Structure 1
């Protein structure tokens, strides 16, 4: 099995390499720059240069590929370029006879367009994939535990013993580890009976802010309290990492949550049914915090 991974240099897809290696796959990792080659080689992948905006480039790197682990780049100056990128990959996969494409959507898809470009474009991509004729599986994860390693959160934990996140304390979330999502992606690739399927996945714990901080504290071995970060503060910290436009778009979503009286679901109560089809050993928040304690506790 030759598996081509997009986004493998980032935390959301990096673990696909190890999970696919466990299955005996030959992993090829697409990257836009040779500076990532060493990291990808050390992880167990063969790096290949690929420009997602270039249809010819996608045709070249998908030749001889059995399955694709796909993700749209998170930070794009023009978010709607993501639709072009996705179409180039999907079209190339069709031409080259790729057996299956598994898409990590980086979040649950909205029911309809909501005026946030980074989210709305995903609905166009979904429709294109569904109508492509390819076998596919769509994995929709909730919020990543790894988000807490971001510059808007980690320094608060390290320096102020506050778990900063721009969601209200009263909003429950089924936080999920990126390794678990990568494991779902790889299981979906290897399950031949899954050909046109979508799974909303979450962690097994539905934690409000204070409960999140409590579980994090158990793993880190230090008392950490929850800090519902104002959307504007979050935006200012995020902008240098993803650009002002992308930061503003994401912050507007969180600002809406902070003003809401009802919250969108970020937890799948039927995860046991998902795990029957995609058997993955799930990671608890406490386990994740313990494993990453050295990153936060200096």
Structure 2
């Protein structure tokens, strides 16, 4: 059985590759770097900009894990159309798509929506993973440095704002389960439930670091300024817009009825468990 993993050297794809390889599966790691070496996988230099290359990569696959890379929305729309065209042509046995935190709304007109609507009705078995916010966001230097130096966890949400945080490790666990569960289709939400507040995050980091840590709300604009040197001005502006929109919501929690807990029996890690697993 062969599984094709997009972004195999990145934050989302690498844990999926590792989990599949640990399970003894045959893995093809897709990366734009033809010189990359990925433990437990065959590497193929395939990007998102060629329908022909994607089709060749997907053909005969038992499973494909795909997510859209960080890029302009114009580029992402083109990539989304190419992915859908390649799936239609190659017809892999199963496709698992992660929204990477974007809403799983097939009518939104976004690149994410193009993939979701494009997979539907094509006769290809598929499921959509819908995370909320990634715990890995808390590994950004300006967050960790503040925790270590000031005992403060800065983030652009209210201290009492509940979020169903998930890690990339959780996404990998759910992706593996979905490859083995073709009966599970549609959207599978991945995240902690009940949702966790900013104060709860700070407590988990405090326990791990053995010190008092207080949650420190910052503005989306402050987040943009802090993130821009790390991810670029364009992506940082997109991040700012995300948190500005989120600030109008009462919560950012998953619904239990379409959760990974209910649909595939996987409970995402607590913040403390995740910190232990990544050995921070």
Tell me the TM-score normalized by structure 2. Answer: 0.90
Q: Within the alignment, does 1:106 sit opposite 2:100 as a pair?
A: yes
CA distance in 2 between partners of 1:54 and 1:150 (Å): 32
Q: Report the equivalent of 1:60.
A: 56
Q: Within the alignment, does 1:246 sit opposite 2:196 as a pair?
A: no
Q: Determine which of 195, 212, 215 is the counterpart of 1:223.
A: 212
The answer to whether the Cα contact below 8 Å between 1:151 and 1:238 also exists between their aligned partners in 2 is no
CA distance in 1 between partners of 2:23 and 2:277 (Å): 24
The answer to whether the Cα contact below 8 Å between 1:152 and 1:234 also exists between their aligned partners in 2 is no
Report the secondary structure of 1:34's partner residue. coil
CA distance in 1 between partners of 2:208 and 2:221 (Å): 29
The answer to whether the Cα contact below 8 Å between 1:9 and 1:31 also exists between their aligned partners in 2 is yes
Q: Report the equivalent of 1:140.
A: 130
Q: Report the equivalent of 2:252.
A: 265
Deviations 1:57-113 (A, max 9, x none): 21222233221001100x21x223222212222322332231111001111516587
Structure 1 residues without counterparts, runs of 5 or longer: none
Q: Determine which of 34, 42, 50 is the counterpart of 1:46.
A: 42
Moved more, 249-258 or 226-235: 249-258
Report the secondary structure of 1:179's partner residue. helix
Q: Within the alignment, does 1:97 sit opposite 2:130 as a pair?
A: no
Displacement of 1:282: 3.0
Q: Report the equivalent of 2:6.
A: 6
The answer to whether the Cα contact below 8 Å between 1:102 and 1:139 also exists between their aligned partners in 2 is yes
Q: Relative to 1, partners in 2 of residues 1:144 and 1:93: Cα closer, same or farther, differing over 3 Å?
A: same
Q: Report the equivalent of 1:178.
A: 168
Q: Relative to 1, partners in 2 of residues 1:121 and 1:14: Cα closer, same or farther, differing over 3 Å?
A: same
Deviations 1:226-272 (A, max 9, x none): 111221221012123332122112202213444x3x4243233447x
Q: Relative to 1, partners in 2 of residues 1:28 and 1:82: Cα closer, same or farther, differing over 3 Å?
A: same
The answer to whether the Cα contact below 8 Å between 1:220 and 1:290 also exists between their aligned partners in 2 is no
Tell me the TM-score normalized by structure 1. Answer: 0.85
Task: Say how many residue pairs are matched.
Answer: 280
Structure 2 residues without counterparts, runs of 5 or longer: none
Q: Cα RMSD between the aligned structures?
A: 2.3
CA distance in 2 between partners of 1:263 and 1:32 (Å): 40
Q: Within the alignment, does 1:30 sit opposite 2:56 as a pair?
A: no
CA distance in 1 between partners of 2:14 and 2:181 (Å): 21
CA distance in 1 between partners of 2:73 and 2:164 (Å): 26
Q: Report the equivalent of 1:128.
A: 118
After the TM superposition, list the runs of 4 or more consecutive aligned residues in structure 1 that deviate by more than 4 angstroms: 110-114
CA distance in 2 between partners of 1:14 and 1:251 (Å): 26
CA distance in 2 between partners of 1:214 and 1:131 (Å): 45
Q: Relative to 1, partners in 2 of residues 1:69 and 1:265: Cα closer, same or farther, differing over 3 Å?
A: same
Q: Determine which of 32, 43, 68 is the counterpart of 1:72.
A: 68
Q: Determine which of 73, 79, 85 is the counterpart of 2:79.
A: 85
